A and B are shown apart, each in its own frame.
Chain A
Amino acid sequence: MTTTETPKTVLAPTRGARFTGAAANYIDERTSISGLVKELGRKIFPDHWSFMLGEVALYSFIVILLTGTFLTFFFQASMADVTYAGSYIPLKGVDMSAAMNSTLNISFDIRGGLLMRQVHHWAALLFVASIGLHMLRIYFTGAFRKPRELNWLIGFVLFVLAMAEGFTGYSLPDDLLSGNGLRIIDGLVKGLPVIGTWTSYLLFGGEFPGTAIVGRLYTLHILLLPAILVAALGIHLVLLVINKHTQFAGPGKTNDNVVGVPIMPVFAAKAGGFFFIVFGVIVLIASFFTINPIWTYGPYDPSPVSAGTQPDWYIGFADGALRLVPSDWGFMIGPWTFSLNIVAPVLVLGLFIVAVAIYPFIEGWVTGDKREHHIADRPRNAPTRTAIGAAGVTFYAVLWAAASSDLIATHFGLTIEGVITTLQYLLIFGPIVAYLVTKRICLGLMKKDREIALHGYESGRIVRLPGGEYIEVHEQLSDYERWRLISYDDYKPLMLRPDAKGRISVTERLRAAMSNWFFEDRIAPVTRAELEQAHHSGHGAIEAAPESEPAQLH
C-alpha cells in the first residue's frame, strides 16, 4: 500500500496539490489544525452493524436541523386568530390560529414545503427510534461499563431531550390532535399534588388553552432544547473519542487495543456515505408516505375529538401508563385532592426512567469491578443483565401497547375492558416471565457455546465404524472461531465478610444479595486445561469406540 505522503515528497506538485497545500498551510498557520488531524485522522474505528445505530441517530438529527431551519422561515408560532384562505379548499374560511394557518401554507402553498415538513417529521421519528435502539445495543452489550458510565448518562439525557423535542414539535401546528395532546398534558400537570394547578396556569399563561403555549413551546423547540441537545451531543461525541469505541470479542482483539478501520479514509467514506444514505431514505419515505396530515384533523377545538387518536410513537408509553390505571384511584387529604390516577403513572414512569439512567452505577457497585471494559459483551454472557433488560423492554412494550388499547380492541374484535385488563396483568407479570425465560435462554446458550468450544459442533457426517457402530463426527472449531465463544468476563457472587471492625454493614449485605442474584447461575469460561483435556478425550472417544463395542454386545 502506498502512503499518502509519497506524492507530496517525490512528484512535482500539480496545480491542485499546490492549491491544497497552500490552503492547508493558510488554515494551519491560523488554527494549528494539523495537530488535530495528526491525532484523529488515523484513529481506528471498529466495525459492526450495531455500531451504526448511534450514527443513524446523529444523522437523522442533522436532517432534523436542516429541515427544521427551512420550516422556521415559514412557520408562525402564534395563536392569533386568522381565517384560512390558502389552497386547501375544504378548510377555506375556517377560523384557526396563525400557527395552523402557516403550517397549512407550508404544506399546500410552498413548493417542497410538504416534503420538508414530512422529512422533518419522519426524521424526528427515526431520531427517537434510533436513539432507543442505540441505547438497547449499549445496554445489552454492557458498553456502559467503566469508563463509559457518564457517557451513558449523557446519552440518556439526549434520549429524554429527543422525546421533549418531539413532543414540543408535535404540538406546534395547533391542530386538533396536537391540541388534544396538550389538553392531556394540562390535565396531567393539574393532577400533580400541590404544584399542579399553578404549574399548568404558568405553562399555558392562563387557562387552557390560552394564546401563549405555541409560542412558548416554539422557543423551547427551536432554541432552548436544541441548544442543550447540541451541547450534550458534543460532549457525547468527545467522550466517544476519548474512551474510544468498544469492540466485540474476536481473534486479535483485546481489551487493550482497537481493531478496525482508520477514520481517514475508510471510516470517513463509510460514515459520510451512510449519512447520505440515511438522509436519502428519509426523503424517500417522506416523498411517498404522508405523516401527520393536520388538514384532515382541522384546527384545535376543545370539543370534538375523533376516536383512535394516538400520540407519536415515542410518547405512547406515557399515554399507555395513563390508560392502565384502574378506576377510582385517588383520595382527599383534608380539603385537597390527591389524584393517584395521575400520580401513580407519573411515579412509575419516573422510577422506570431513573432505573434506566442509573443502571450502570448499580451494576458497577454490585460487581465492584473497577477495571476498564472495552470488549462488548455478547448479551448471553451476562444472563442477569440481559434478563433485566428483557424485563424492562417488556414493561415498556406493554405500556406502549396500552396506548393503542382502543385500536387493538377494534382491530381484533375484542372488548376494550378485556384488552385493558389483560394489559394490566401483563404489565406486572410480563416482565417477570420475560426475565425468567431470558435468563434461562442465556444460560442455555452459554452451555451450548461451552459445549461447542470444547467438543466441536455436529458436522452432520455419520460414520460407520468397523465394529458397526454409527457415530456423528464432531468438527472442531478453529482457534479463531472458538475465541469468540469463550472470551468473556466471569463473575462470582460476593462473599460476605466482616469489615475491619468486625461488622457487616447493611449496604454490604444488600450488595451481597444483589451479587448473588446476578451471579449465582454462572457458566464459567473454558480454560486452557479443559480445552486440552477435551481434545485428548475427544480424539480418544472415536478411537476407543470400536473397543467398547464388544462390551455392548454381551
Chain B
Amino acid sequence: MAQHGDGVTAPEGDAVHGSAVTTALAVSHQTVESPGTAVVPTDPVINPGFPPHNPRMTDLYPEKAARAARQVAILFYISIIGSIFAVAAYVAFPIVPGDPGSIRINNALLGIGITLGLLGIGLGAVHWAKQLMREDESVELRHGTRGTDATREKAVEVFTLGNNESGIGRRSLIRNSLIGALVLTPVPAVALFRDLAPAANPVPLLQHTMWKKGTRLTRDPDGTAVKATDVTLGSAFHIIPEGLNDREDALEQKAKAAVLLMRLRPEDLHVSEARKGWNYEGIVAYSKICTHVGCPVALYEQQTHHLLCPCHQSQFDITHEAKVIFGPARRPLPQLPITIDSEGYLVAQSDFHEPVGPDFWEREL
C-alpha cells in the first residue's frame, strides 16, 4: 500500500501481456477506494431523508386531472392539424420562378405547419408527464461500476486461459513478429494517399504566378486592359493578368495573380533603390493576396493609402512599399513591377520577385 493512503498504484497495464492484466485486476481485488486528500467527516450531519411528498392539483381534484387530459389531447390535435396544414401549404403555395416572395411564403407556411406538428406532440407529451403521470420520485440503488470480485476473477481466468492456450505471453517470437506485421500493415494505406495531389512538386507552383514580362493588367472580372491614363489619382483597380479568364485553371491562377492597382502622388511614395523603376508615374501594383493566410486584401483607404485585409485586419502601408503596419501579417505585400507598352496600356515588367500569398516552409525568402 502507498504511504499515506493515496491509493494503490496499479501496475502499468501492458496490452500484450495477459498476465499484466491479470495482476492489475488481482491487486485492486477487495480494496476500499482511497479518498485521497478528501476529508472524511467524523461527525457528519445526517441526511434527513426524503421530504414529504406534495401532491399536485391533478392528484387532489379529479376535475383538474380531466382538464389536463383534455389539454393534452388538444395539443395532440393541434399537432395533427399542423401536419395536415404543412402538406396543404406545400401544394397550395408552390414556388413561382422569379418571385422571391413565393419562396418566403412557401418556407414560412410549411415551417409553421411542421412546427405545430412537432410542438403539439412535444408539449402534449411533457404536459401529460408533468400533470398526469405518477410524479413522486423513485429510488434505485447504485452499485460500484467495477465488476464484482467473482466477475473479475472469471475475467482474469479468461485472460489466463487465453494466454495459456495461445501461448502469446510465452512465445515471444510469434508475438513480436505479429506486432511488427500489424504495425506495418497500414503503411500501404498511407502510401495510397500520395495521389491525392498531382505528382509535381508544389513548391515551384507556389513561387510563380501568371505574370510575365509584357502581360497586360486587365480589370477584374471582365478582363479589359487598363491604360495608365485611366488610373486617376486616388483611384484603385482590381486587376487580373490578361488571358486569365480563358484558362482552365482560372481560379487557381487568380488566387495567386490578383493585384491591386493604385495611383498615388509620386512624392508620397517612398521607393527603395532596388524598386526605382517598378512604379509608373505613381501607379503601383501590389499582390492582393494577404501574406497572412491568403485572403484578398480588398479594402483601400484612399486618404492614408493603407490596405486593410478584412479577414484578420492586417494593414499595409502603400506609401512604404506595403510594409505591415498592424495585424498578424508578417511580410509586406509583394510588388508587381509595371510599366506601359507602346499603346499606353499598363503591363508587367516581370513576375513577382518573391512568392505571393501566405508563408510556407520552403518559401526561401
Contact = CB atoms under 8 A, between A and B. Distances in A.
Chain A complexes with chain B: yes
Interface of A: 1, 42-44, 47, 87-89, 107-112, 114-115, 118, 147, 180, 183-184, 186-188, 190-198, 200-210, 212, 242-244, 251-262, 265-266, 269-270, 272-281, 283-284, 286-288, 300-309, 319, 322-330, 335-342, 366-372, 374, 405-406, 416-417, 420, 478-480, 482-483, 486-487, 489-495, 497, 499-500, 515, 519, 524-529, 531
A536 to B, nearest CB: 16
Given A280-B118, A492-B39, 11 more contacts: A187-B295, A200-B202, A207-B252, A207-B256, A262-B138, A265-B133, A270-B129, A283-B114, A284-B115, A342-B293, A370-B7
B133 to A, nearest CB: 5
Contact of A197 (B110, B141, B361): B361
B344 interface: no
Contact of B97 (A1, A87, A519): A87
A259 B137 CA distance: 6
Interface in B300-346: 308, 310-314, 324-330
B359 interface: yes
B124 interface: yes
A500 B308 CA distance: 65
B88 interface: no
Nearest to B359: A339
A336 B361 contact: yes
Contacts of B197: 198, 201-202, 204-206
Contacts of A327: 314, 324-330
B187 interface: no
B38 A191 contact: no
A279 B363 contact: no
B10 to A, nearest CB: 10
Contact of B296 (A110, A303, A483): A303
The 3 residue pairs across chains A and B that have the minimum distance between CB atoms: A287-B111, A187-B293, A368-B36
24 contacts: A111-B94, A115-B111, A183-B293, A187-B290, A187-B293, A251-B50, A252-B50, A257-B142, A259-B138, A269-B128, A273-B122, A276-B122, A277-B119, A283-B118, A301-B254, A323-B327, A327-B327, A330-B330, A337-B365, A340-B330, A366-B37, A371-B38, A416-B308, A525-B41
B107 A201 contact: no
Interface residues of B, number: 112
Contacts of A270: 125-126, 129-130
Contacts of A368: 6-7, 34, 36-37
B3 A303 contact: no
A372 B145 contact: yes
Interface string B167-201: 00000000000000000000000000110111000
Contacts of A277: 118-119, 122-123, 126
B36 A367 contact: yes
A483 B36 contact: no
B119 A280 contact: yes
Given A260-B137, A269-B129, A372-B145, A526 B45 contact: yes
Contacts of B288: 303
Contacts of B325: 327
Interface in B268-297: 288-290, 292-296
Nearest to B114: A283
A336 B106 CA distance: 57
A269 B126 contact: yes
Given A108-B103, A337-B363, A370-B36, A273 B129 contact: yes
A275 B140 CA distance: 25
A43 B138 CA distance: 9
Which of A110, A118, A322 lies at the interface centre, i.e. has the most chain B CB atoms within 10 A of its CB?
A322
B102 to A, nearest CB: 9
B55 interface: no
Nearest to A493: B37
Contact of A417 (B115, B126, B326, B361): B326
B214 interface: no
A277 to B, nearest CB: 4
B107 A273 contact: no
A268 to B, nearest CB: 8
Which of A1, A212, A243, A270 lies at the interface centre, i.e. has the most chain B CB atoms within 10 A of its CB?
A270
A276 B121 contact: yes
B254 A244 contact: no
B37 A491 contact: yes
A405 B107 CA distance: 34
Nearest to A490: B39
B203 interface: yes
B34 A44 contact: no
Contact of A194 (B39, B193, B220, B361): B361
A487 B47 contact: yes
Nearest to B91: A111
B51 interface: yes
A203 B192 CA distance: 14
A230 B36 CA distance: 36
Contacts of B49: 251-252
Given A184-B293, A276-B118, A372-B144, A337 B360 contact: yes
Nearest to B50: A252
Nearest to A243: B145
A374 B310 contact: no
B347 interface: no
A300 B123 CA distance: 43
Contacts of A192: 361
A212 to B, nearest CB: 8
A494 B6 CA distance: 10
B240 interface: yes
B62 interface: no
Contacts of A254: 47
A337 B359 contact: yes
A257 B139 contact: yes
B158 to A, nearest CB: 20
A270 B112 CA distance: 23
B311 to A, nearest CB: 6
A330 B298 CA distance: 24
A180 B309 CA distance: 12
A327 B327 CA distance: 5
A251 B47 contact: yes
Nearest to A515: B37
